[in-house]
Amino acid sequence: MAPFNKPKHKGKALVAGASAGIFEICCTYPIEYCKTAMQLSTSNTSVQSIVKSTYQTNGLSGFYRGLPSMVYFAAPKASIRFASFEFCSGLLTSPECEDPYGLGKARGFVAGLGAGTMEAIFVTTPQETIKVRLINDAFRTSGQKPKYNSFSHGVSTIVNEYGFAGIYKGLFPTIIKVATAQGTRFGVFNVIPVENRNTPIKAALSGAFAGGVSVILFQGIDVVKSRMQGLDAHKYKSTLHCVKEMLRNEGPLAFYKGVTPRLTRVCCEVGITMSLYGEIVKLLDTVWKTDP
């Protein structure tokens, strides 16, 4: 059995990817909130202090600050991710390949790089910019009136202040982060023997492992991306300048801020999407006949 139950129809890849993406983010967003708040802090902030402060100020709903930006973009992000991966893998696949999914070890990584790049350019950068600024606003103005009243107000305010380019803050580090993350996740996932990823549970565990590897390798890029997209982004002239400032003022450990919640969230994210994606494709195959 192939690990993904690879769809032949691109429409099925879009629907399955979108459905898996929306379900996943609704389950894991509070972890994402804590991770982002830790990355934006220039002091030693713990998960416990963020949870306590957020709950005391805004209750349980506070942990979902910025969620709309993730939900609204979840469908197109996951759709582009999996559809781009299917497209790139198709370009790299030879008919005689013995891999049930049609990819060799290196080709899985390359296809993931392509998928991540498309995802970052078209969806992830504006999504992350809006999310990071909403979380930064809520956490930094704890006990005060927030700058952004809602998702729509936040978007309109950002665009009014900075133009359309305002929602594309941190484009370069986002492309690097997403491309390397997806390349690593798809690459590692496809290196795992097929017999160890041919059921939903095995696929979830394999996906979680692949996600964990990507976090350990590229956590620093994610922290830099968050800083470049936050309310204090004006302090940094470029990605390189941001790296230098963090290293000079906070030391090398700053690049691993939020690693524990991010590791938890990414393992859950990739595990859920990798397993659920294949199951949704199977369901679609029973109700959506696309073969001639």
- 115 domain residue, yes or no: yes
Residue 190 structural domain: 10-287
Any domain includes 1: no
Task: Tell me if 2 is assigned to some domain.
Answer: no
**Is residue 292 domain-resident?**
no
**Average pLDDT score over residue span 288-292:** 68
Residue 264 belongs to a domain:
yes
Span 180-185, average pLDDT: 88
pLDDT level of residue 100 (50, 70, 90 thresholds): very low
> pLDDT for 222-257, tens place per residue?
999 999 999 999 999 999 999 999 999 999 999 999
In a domain, 231, yes or no: yes
4 domain-assigned: no
Q: Residue 213 has what pLDDT?
A: 92
| Other CB atoms within 10 Å distance of the CB of residue 57 | 14
The closest of 82, 88, 178, 85 to 125, measured between CA atoms, is: 178
pTM value is 0.79
- Number of domains making up the chain: 1
pLDDT digits (tens, 9 = 90+) for 12-40: 777 887 888 888 888 899 999 999 999 99
Domain containing residue 107: CATH number: 1.50.40.10
